[in-house]
Amino acid sequence: MDSSSFKHSYKNTLRENLSLAVYNTGYQKCDRGVSWGPAIRDHFLIHYIDSGKGTYECGGKIYEINKGDLFLVYPSQIVTYTADLQEPWEYFWVGFNGTEAKRLMALTSFSAESPVLHYKDDSILRNILLKIYRHRGSQPINDCRMVGTLYLFLGELIHFCNQSDGGGHKPNTNNYMEKALKYIQYNYSRYIGVQDVAEYVGISRSHLYRLFVETTGLSPNEFLSMYKINEACSLLRKGTLSVNQVASSVGFSDALYFSRVFKKIKGVPPTKYIKT
């Protein structure tokens, strides 16, 4: 190993968050030619190159990556990235996921066809990513600070995107999805269905279905169930409510049906989830 190389990283072992969760974060000066992959991630992962260079291979293409570049790894996409043999890169990274992750990434200039962006050579992104790492930890305050700083990072990328394309990036789709997600966020605790969401947004059920599948990879019903169950997990972890009370609190009138949906999504019934 090159004596000048180093790696500082943090992985979050409790990655459950309703909207956005930091999975891992860190920074690294790589050895010459060190490579990761070909393999997949189960979350979004963004690298920012602070110095040096390397290559990023995904979707059958190879990208030359240099200082000031960012490259995005999409969940379940086979990728390989390799440090240069002469000038190995030093990069900062953050891995994240959650119900909001795909929607937020759709607001940036990243896409499956364009997974590499070039950012101006300054310290804005570097400093934000370093702050995410410095907020690392397993306590609730660490989660809040990491996610809050991640929002700042994604906000900077969205701002950069708006400057690049005049602010006209997918406005209709994003506005509809934002309204739908806010409606679910504010009304999940009562019984609501897909028709309620579609009527609030002002589009047809079929249009809503297409938007959800395109943006989140889930149907509106699947997304709504997952949102409710994730909220239920948060209530169960607090340990102050019974399963029946939790079911009612997240909009299920039938506790048995709630348990079936919970087990389908989490793999265990709520009673076992509490114990583990």
pLDDT the model gives residue 167 = 46
The domains of the chain, with CATH numbers, are 6-165 (2.60.120.280), 171-275 (1.10.10.60)
Q: What is the 3-state secondary structure (H, E, C) of the chain?
A: CCCCCEEEEEECCCCCCCCCEEEEEEEEECCCCCEEEEECCCCEEEEEEEECEEEEEECCEEEEECCCEEEEECCCCCEEEEECCCCECEEEEEEEECCCHHHHHHCCCCCCCCCEEECCCCCHHHHHHHHHHHCCCCCHHHHHHHHHHHHHHHHHHHHHHHHHHCCCCCHHHHHHHHHHHHHHHHHCCCCCCHHHHHHHHCCCHHHHHHHHHHHHCCCHHHHHHHHHHHHHHHHHHHCCCCHHHHHHHCCCCCHHHHHHHHHHHHCCCHHHHHHC
What pTM value is reported for the model? 0.63
pLDDT the model gives residue 121 = 59
pLDDT the model gives residue 163 = 66
Which residues in the chain come in under a pLDDT of 70?
1-3, 6, 11-18, 121-122, 162-174
